Chain A
Amino acid sequence: MEKPFAITLDVGSSLANHTGSWRTKRPLYVDRLPPCNNACPAGENIQGWLFHAEAGNYEAAWRVLVQDNPMPAVMGRVCYHPCESSCNRGQFDEAVGINSVERFLGDEAIKQGWKFDAPPKASGKKVLIVGAGPSGLSAAYHLARLGHQVTIFEAGPFAGGMMRFGIPKYRLPREVLEAEIKRILDMGVVLKLNSRVDNILDSMKSAGFDAAFLAVGAHIGKRTFIPAGSAAKVLDAVGVLHSMEGEEKPMLGRRVVVYGGGNTAIDVARTAKRLGATEAIIVYRRTREKMPAHDFEVEEALQEGILIKWLSTIKQVSDAGALTIEKMALDDKGFPQPTGEFETLESDSLVLALGQDVDLSLLNGVPGLEIKDGVVQVSPALMTGYPGIFAGGDMVPSERTVTVAVGHGKKAARNIDAWLLGSSYEAAPKHELANYEKLNPWYYNDAPKTMRPMLETLRRQSTFDEVQGGLDESSAQFEARRCMSCGNCFECDNCYGVCPDNAVIKLGPGKRFEFNLDYCKGCGICVSECPCGAIKMVPEEV
């Protein structure tokens, strides 16, 4: 149309006006480190795999997960999930049930028979791993992924380490453990059972290994001096739990007293109960608040009828198994102090659960090693004082958990790989932490955490059936969707929508967004309204 001059204008012509020149600050898309990822000892990209699980894309989720941890079904059962303790959602309502989603993915992978990707071209390097516990298995997996030829020497008759000989079945069914171990071995990892390494240097030399990773765990039950009659039945916890895997189940009697306050003590007491003990009593020096065992485990034990005697030490064991118990009281520093009050507790057996020491005999004669507090000292790269020999898991100074052990396996593998190539491994720099203050929690739906089903108490007291059930698909997905995707774009379209200047370009599913700096005036609304804190403002360069 022949429009009147100046008064009437062609539509959309303001695109010629580049308002971006007004800007003094510009928005920048960032990926921040979610606190869960930050807290995971195995370095899992939790937010990353939840992202796929949210969409119901479970295999993709699992594949992201196993880039860091090859045993999600195990982890989903035994991990103490520090991720959940640091989950930002905990400050909103309750932490995301990361662990239960992980278990769902692990179980789903077993059910669906998902396999690891075949390792790339072989590097020609041979690595020896001593011990098929979580640390050794994890290292084997990661080394295999890096193309190295891996052989595990395992002293015992089965792989799994403490996952098999410590953690009871009712927490970790053996089929699950076996399925996940098998998947690792299927990558071409050679596992030699009943092959105890007595001298590491000899073993390395014998088959020409280029490097070794030691992960022998801590298996020697600690003892404390208690005067005991010769007929008294005093056992150690790891031994008891170990024998659960053999033909002969341990004979503990009807009244079993466990001495100690860690998770192992709980596991033994609960095992004793299942083996038929009418009374399983834990004797512990301090109070519940001070107990090293996780509170949920204490709770589960109490539900099953385990009795706990707080503030008590065992002074003496008579031949007939009568225990002399001294009552303790906490001083103002929180330490237990004897009170001089005594009582007697009848028992058929006493199980000591006072922690484990490492058997370091295989290291005899290895030069350059440093042993302190009964554990092998390692560099940040997990290398011992002897070049080419790395170590991880319970045998090095660290928290003793499966997850830490798995994390060590991964870290060692990367460092061994670098060492074999004559370089050193540089971890990618950590992103800035996506703490709660960086989020705009308004946008998240209120949604209480999904609880996993628990086996009924009667069956928990008499069988070794798994206590905690898994989530079904819809609950697992619900739980995944509770994730706030801290610090990482989850494509909610907020920035795209809230920009008054249409200066955000949507690139399409999976491709996130881009700023159109021709028009962005730098108002910062996108930053404020990004639910997950994945945008920040930076000063405009002059």
Chain B
Amino acid sequence: MLKQCEGSHAVASAVAMCRPEVICAYPISPQTHIVEGLGEMVKSGKLAPCEFINVESEFAAMSVAIGASAAGARSYTATASQGLLFMVEAVYNASGLGLPIVMTVANRAIGAPINIWNDHSDSMSQRDCGWIQLFAENNQEALDLHIQAFRLGEELSLPVMVCMDGFILTHAYERVDMPTQEQVDAYLPPFVPRQILDPAEPVSIGAMVGPEAFTEVRYLAHAKQMQALELIPQHAAEFQKIFGRDSGGLVRPYRCEDAETIVVALGSVLGTLKDTIDEMRDAGHKIGVLGIVSFRPFPLQAIREVLKDAKRVVVLEKSLAVGIGGIVSTDVRMALSGLHLHGYTVIAGLGGRAITKASLHKMLQQAMRDELEHVTFLDLDHNLVKRHLEREKQKRRSGPMAENILRDVGVVAARIA
């Protein structure tokens, strides 16, 4: 059924159809509308049986989800930005314990400076936390990915993070094809936990593991994600059978067949990129886009398959690994090991900065001429930055008075030498 609605609402509805049993909520923009929607459904009795718990922090939200999941309940929560960081310890714990919690991350920048707008810094900070991370391109995919996330997570006993761009998707009104409860039920079987806290069959979950087995435990976590690489396309295929939609999967190549230049990106920016690429294709450029849906596990093989014949790859990412540049780019480069092609990292859209077609055109043209800097900050106000750096340099040199005097006398200098 087609429906015009807010992205958060679409996700809330999809999550509700997945029959979650415990939902924990803690407010942070731009995720709030999702759990608010769910909260109302639980309170009104529309979503039952389900416990909706207003916790006192994100750390508690994830912890409640851990407890609930370990006790066999399908558990869900949502967060963003500072909230995700606040729960980090528990995020790692959920995956370490193999609990198939599903969490929406409404991607948002991380402070300081505090900023409520979209980029991918938050989920990227958690790329090694052991969760599966799926990125949605649009609201339809966000909706669909949540349904797939429960199925995938529960099958593997792994938590799944569905990442959707804050505001850009969460607050955008778009038309979505809302599935029916029957479709979801047909796709998603009831949760049968791999381990459960039950007096009928008691176990101790969360043992302390020493060097004698820790590597194996970690390896097994990795192996599970490798399994996911196989399961994700299968699940997408099954999804298509029931819902009639191609949604999910590992990667989404767009006009990459003969492309010499391929842009790699995740999330909603793919839409703008596709439009841009269409225009550039029309202008005769051999260019395409590769969307990554599954960032964890990272589909090295699938990506290499798409990129191997290109001449250059531009990774456009909404996050910054301060001190090196890209996060996604580093991973993409791994997929290209041994191949000789140009690679560019473009940092774009930080803290909600709009990524315009015009800027993309300009940047891609440069790339195609191989004139792009290896790490490029899209639309960076170079003058502003320069001025500031200059100023700082001045000040730095002047330094505190006392020190200057000492320096004059030679004490500090002597010590430095």
Contact = CB atoms under 8 A, between A and B. Distances in A.
Chain A directly contacts chain B within the complex, with at least one CB pair under 8 Å = yes
A4 B205 CA distance: 9
A507 interface: no
B98 A4 contact: yes
B209 interface: yes
Q: For the complex, would chain A's binding face be called helix, strand, loop or mixed by DSSP majority?
A: loop
B414 interface: no
Interface stretch (B106-114, B161-169, B193-201, B230-238): B193-201
B193 to A, nearest CB: 8
A1 B201 contact: yes
B213 A5 contact: yes
B385 interface: no
Interface string A145-188: 00000000000000000000000000000000000000000000
A5 B195 contact: no
Contacts of B97: 4, 7
A34 to B, nearest CB: 46
Q: For the complex, would chain B's binding face be called helix, strand, loop or mixed by DSSP majority?
A: loop
B217 A2 contact: no
B203 interface: yes
Nearest to A10: B203
Given A6-B209, A7-B96, A8-B195, A1 B220 contact: no
A9 B207 contact: yes
Given A1-B194, A1-B195, A1-B196, A6 B213 contact: yes
Interface in A1-54: 1-11
A15 to B, nearest CB: 13
Contact of A7 (B196, B202, B217): B217
A4 B194 contact: yes
Given A1-B194, A1-B195, A1-B196, A6 B203 contact: no
A4 B157 contact: yes
Interface string B85-124: 0000000000011100000000000000000000000000
Nearest to A7: B207
Contacts of B201: 1
B44 interface: no
Nearest to A13: B204
A6 B216 contact: yes
Chain B interface residue bracket vs A: 20 to 34
Given A9-B204, A9-B207, A10-B203, A4 B195 contact: yes
A329 to B, nearest CB: 84
B400 interface: no
A262 to B, nearest CB: 75
A11 B209 contact: no
B206 interface: yes
A509 B202 CA distance: 32
Contact of A9 (B196, B203, B214): B203
A8 B196 contact: no
A10 B203 CA distance: 5
Contacts, number: 47
A213 to B, nearest CB: 70
Contacts of B202: 11
A1 B194 CA distance: 7
A4 B209 CA distance: 12
Interface in B213-228: 213-214, 216-217, 220
A4 B97 CA distance: 8
A1 B213 contact: no
Nearest to B196: A1
Contacts of A1: 194-196, 201, 203
Interface in B4-29: none
Interface string A480-497: 000000000000000000
A323 B207 CA distance: 97
B217 A5 contact: yes
B203 to A, nearest CB: 5
A88 B57 CA distance: 60
Contact of A8 (B207, B213, B216, B220): B207
B204 A11 contact: yes
A6 B194 CA distance: 14
Contact of A6 (B195, B196, B207): B207
Contacts of A2: 194
Contacts of B213: 5-6
Contacts of B203: 1, 3, 8-11
Give the most central of B96, B201, B207, B214: most A CB within 10 Å: B207
B204 A5 contact: no
Interface in A299-335: none
Interface string B161-197: 0000000000000000000000000000000001110
A9 B202 CA distance: 9
Give the most central of A2, A4, A5, A9: most B CB within 10 Å: A4
Given A4-B98, A6-B217, A8-B207, 18 more contacts: A1-B194, A1-B195, A1-B196, A1-B201, A2-B194, A3-B194, A3-B203, A4-B194, A4-B195, A5-B220, A6-B214, A6-B216, A7-B205, A7-B209, A8-B195, A8-B203, A8-B206, A9-B204
In the complex, the 3 A-B pairs of residues with the closest C-beta atoms, listed nearest first: A6-B213, A9-B204, A11-B202
Interface of A: 1-11
19 contacts: A2-B194, A3-B194, A3-B195, A4-B195, A5-B216, A6-B209, A6-B213, A6-B214, A6-B217, A7-B97, A7-B98, A7-B207, A7-B209, A8-B204, A8-B207, A9-B203, A9-B204, A11-B203, A11-B204
